[in-house]
Amino acid sequence: MKKGAFYSSSSRSRMLAREAVEAQEAAAPEPSAVRVFWNKHATRHEKKLLIVSSVLSAFLVIGLYALLVPQPRQYTQHDIDLAVRSTLESLPPGPSAASKAYAVIRPSVVRVNQLEKEKDSDELAIKGVGTGVIIDEKGTILTNLHVVAGAERVGVEFVDGTKSEAEVLSTDPNNDLAVLRPSTIPDDMVPATLKSTAKLQPGDEVIAVGNPFGIGVSVSDGIISGLRRSYMTEGKTILSNLIQFDAAANPGNSGGPLVTTDGEVIGIVTGILNPTNQRVFIGIGFAVPIENAARAAGESPF
């Protein structure tokens, strides 16, 4: 018996295959107009669509990050003040205002000694002690008149230990002032800076520098407790327009500088108020304004 072929190349077979394909295509649903439009434009604008989608994705990521990650805290001025205070409290304490002022004025402060010859000797003995302050490059020194009044000779001692006799150039009894000129001055001598008293107010901080009781250069701090005060000296001279202060001052402080917290001289310490005969400080001292003192030296810068 003759076997049939596995593949037929007859025209009928080809026709039947074609009809099956056409029937399958006819059965498939036609694409919608929207899909046709999208396919057409998607192909044409493929690059632009990629860029837009990338941008949208980036915004989406940023938005999610903002939602999931907590935002930084907005600090107020109160928060900042607390942080600064906490930091300052944790730091070691620095020099006080009085300490800084003293460091500035100390090179300009001198000890003033009343000198007299000892009996049967050429040696000079110290009869009395006061203080002075250097006010210019020539070594001119301001002090109180009562510090040098009646002295046979006057000697001064500088901060570096240099000692020199000094000449009394001029005096101003109405302000209890004397102007000295030493015969020798140190190479590294530092004149003080003078400051007008025009803007001084009660309550302003000050320091007084001097040689109380001759024990050595000392510093005390306080405030200006009054202005335009009057005071009668032991010699019964009435001084007026004085600065009243409460920084401790005692015999030996006379002629020393009254200084601001910047180390600038505003007055020359001249006396203490005491209703007793003890000659010790009880809380009220007086200083001649630096304008009067500098004028006595003929060098007022104000």
pLDDT tens digits, one per residue of 41-51? 556 666 666 67
* pLDDT more than 70, % of the chain: 78
Long-range contacts of 212-216 (CB under 8 A, 24+ apart): 212/248, 212/249, 212/250, 212/251, 212/252, 212/253, 213/129, 213/250, 213/251, 213/252, 214/126, 214/129, 214/252, 215/252
Residue type, 254: S
Residue written as token pair 């009243």: 244
User: In this structure, are residues 200 and 258 in contact, taking their beta carbons and an 8 Å threshold?
Assistant: no
Span 102-296 CATH architecture: Beta Barrel (2.40)
- The pLDDT, as a whole number, for residue 24 is 61
- The pLDDT, as a whole number, for residue 262 is 95
What is the average pLDDT value for the chain, to the nearest integer? 83
Q: Is the pLDDT of residue 272 over 70?
A: yes
Pairwise pLDDT comparison (60 vs 193), residue with the higher score: 193
Q: Which two tokens stand for residue 122?
A: 């050429």
What's the rounded Cα separation, in Å, for the pair 258 and 175?
Answer: 15
Question: Which pTM value belongs to this model?
Answer: 0.69
Burial class (CB in 10 A: 0-12, 13-18, 19+), 265: buried
- The pLDDT, as a whole number, for residue 8 is 47
Interval 122-138 mean pLDDT:
91
| Ranges of each domain in the chain | 102-296
Backbone dihedral angles phi then psi of residue 18, each to the nearest 5 degrees: -65, -40
- The pLDDT, as a whole number, for residue 164 is 95
- The pLDDT, as a whole number, for residue 87 is 77
Residue written as token pair 């600065």: 243
Q: Is the pLDDT of residue 3 over 80?
A: no
- The pLDDT, as a whole number, for residue 6 is 47
Q: Which residues are known to be catalytic?
A: 146, 176, 254
Pairwise pLDDT comparison (23 vs 173), residue with the higher score: 173
Helix axes 33-44, 46-68, angle to 10 degrees: 90
pLDDT tens digits, one per residue of 176-199? 999 999 999 999 899 999 999 999
Pairwise pLDDT comparison (24 vs 58), residue with the higher score: 58
Interval 85-112 mean pLDDT:
88
Q: Is the pLDDT of residue 157 over 80?
A: yes
